[in-house]
Amino acid sequence: MSTAIFVDAGFFLKRFESVYPGRTRARTFVTSGSGDVFRDLGFSAGEAAELNAKSVLIDALADTIARRKLTQSRAAKLCGTDQPTLSKVLRGRMESVTIDRLAAWLTALGQTVEIRVRPYNGKAKTGAFVAI
């Protein structure tokens, strides 16, 4: 399964301007990415991990809706939410939804969501949040 990242351009533009004050939209620059778009945008490791997990779940949600040929209205009813909320999430408004809510929506649409905890690694200072 390929991973698509859904983003709200306005949200990230505000974040960009807060991370890079004084830079205007007219200036264009290109840098090599680290492989984690959210870390590259200036989010902390914890924030980036959460956003990456949400991205994977939103991608799975969009894929499930498409494969089942559901309208957003029908999918929203099955998920126990309203169509405008589902639409916002599918357009990348990740701040309006939690990981557990995304998992609940996926299970309501017939998907199985697994959360796996790996054994303690004594060499690591902290654990990692990995979305597959």
Among 104, 106, 131, CA closest to 116: 131
3-state secondary structure at position 7: coil
**In whole numbers, what is the pLDDT of the chain averaged over residues?**
81
Instruction: Please say if the pLDDT value at position 31 is more than 50.
Output: yes
User: What pLDDT does 20 receive?
Assistant: 63
pTM score, whole prediction: 0.69
Q: Which residue has the tokens 């199985």?
A: 112
User: What are the pLDDT digits (tens) for 80-118?
Assistant: 999 999 999 999 898 889 999 999 999 999 999 988 877
Q: Spell out the domains of the chain, with CATH numbers in brackets.
A: 9-108 (1.10.260.40)
User: What pLDDT does 22 receive?
Assistant: 62
Backbone phi, psi, residue 47, to 5°: -65, -45
Instruction: Please say if the pLDDT value at position 57 is more than 60.
Output: yes
